Structure 1
């Protein structure tokens, strides 16, 4: 099931993942529910991906591996980020479009 990111007060959120793992707070997630979306991502068969997708994932991992959780959180809140473009103090139900996310990161990658 595809679910949109939502612009919540403290950043972009996938609501079902937040609900499932909120009990961990700011601690590492140590137990993955096998029926959850995150588990299926961790156990994903990458043979289903094309070479472009694999290269994009590998590049993203290399480019962000040195960042802390705080760094990543700060990044999501930067002026001009997809979250910043959408969040205007509402109750967090406004979706962040895939196109907005794609365009932002495409622009970021092209600056590198």
Structure 2
């Protein structure tokens, strides 16, 4: 199984350089869609309900302090991705890579996985929270999107 760093490195190789926030959100959307399409997690690391949307702490530790990330910033190995993982990533990137970090962040704020995690933690809009988003919430939300789109 790939790691979040492998996935992030793949995204940067295909569409980098980009901001750290945009990379976080593209990893999140890739994780969610892959969970539904392939019925398995894209990587073992989890997302937390931070103030600016879902963030994977392990990825954050690698880019902390950097705003713009070049394609070789993280040291992950995109070669670890299998065909299904690459296909999921390519579909998500085709659909979302044109969006800005701010647009992607705003989208996550309107979606149930992040909202539910924030509610569980009792966090207000700008409060810090390390409450994890659950795979059950992510799968439920993305399944509804896929079903609505007829995918």
TM-score past 0.5 threshold? yes
Superposed, 1:17-36 pairs within 5 Å as 17-24=59-66, 27-30=67-70, 32-34=73-75
Q: Which has the higher helix share?
A: 2
Structure 2 unaligned regions, length at least 5: 4-43
Q: In the alignment, which residue of structure 2 is the partner of 1:37?
A: none
Q: In the alignment, which residue of structure 1 is the partner of 2:141?
A: 104
> Higher relative CO (CA 8 A, sep ≥ 6), structure 1 or 2?
1
Superposed, 1:1-112 pairs within 5 Å as 2-24=44-66, 27-30=67-70, 32-34=73-75, 40=76, 43-45=77-79, 48-51=81-84, 53-78=85-110, 80-88=111-119, 89=123, 91-112=128-149
- Structure-2 separation of matches of 1:61 and 1:102: 19
CA RMSD of aligned residues (A): 2.4
Aligned length: 100
Deviations 1:22-72 (A, max 9, x none): 212xx31135142xxxxx2xx3126x5244x44322221111122111111
Larger radius of gyration: 1
TM-score by length of 2: 0.55
